[in-house]
Chains A and B, each alone.
Chain A
Amino acid sequence: EAQVTQNPRYLITVTGKKLTVTCSQNMNHEYMSWYRQDPGLGLRQIYYSMNVEVTDKGDVPEGYKVSRKEKRNFPLILESPSPNQTSLYFCASRAEGVSYEQYFGPGTRLTVT
């Protein structure tokens, strides 16, 4: 089954404790992206990647890091989480080509206390 998976689905952590949210897709998509979703603000892009070893900042990159060492994986790293990073996070991917449809993972709900 074609899908985007994320882990963990739920995470409660404390300020300053480094964490990684994993994202993997099995569709051989070139383009992958991370979004955060906050009430009233919709989905905002954090980082995106056009292919292996090619990443760029989105609209809200502060406090986040990413890497793209393999085509299928695109982990999101919070080196020192803070309470304002409490949010719902989505990973998405799409194939290079005419369609701009992005396929979303199930989401990770992160709470930083």
Chain B
Amino acid sequence: EDKVVQSPLSLVVHEGDTVTLNCSYEVTNFRSLLWYKQEKKAPTFLFMLTSSGIEKKSGRLSSILDKKELFSILNITATQTGDSAVYLCAVAADSWGKLQFGAGTQVVVTP
């Protein structure tokens, strides 16, 4: 059975801190790993990673995939209160891109 596990489940940080979120997976037909941000509404797309070792970066957010060890990390540097959200990791594991989601990590950034 395909599985996506995120850790930690939640964390609270102060503005300016750096956050590292983890996503490990066990799927039979890996295609890509995706990160989404969810703020009390629909998930919004952050990154899609397909190749190992290539960092994707967008502003203060970055992510990397390790296909040998079957995990990905999402880093947020210089956190702001606007980064408070649930961060979802999902793996596309068939030709149609069915997404298998992890339970998410709730990040709270305090002023």
Q: Which residues of A contact B (CB under 8 A)?
A: 31, 33, 35, 40-45, 48, 50, 58, 90, 94, 99-107
Contacts and interface: CB of A to CB of B under 8 A. Distances in A.
The secondary structure that dominates the B interface is strand
Contacts of B34: 100-101
Interface in B95-111: 96-104
Contacts of A99: 48
Interface residues of B, number: 22
A45 B92 CA distance: 12
Contacts of B92: 100
Interface of B: 4, 31-32, 34, 41-45, 48, 88, 90, 92, 96-104
A105 B42 contact: yes
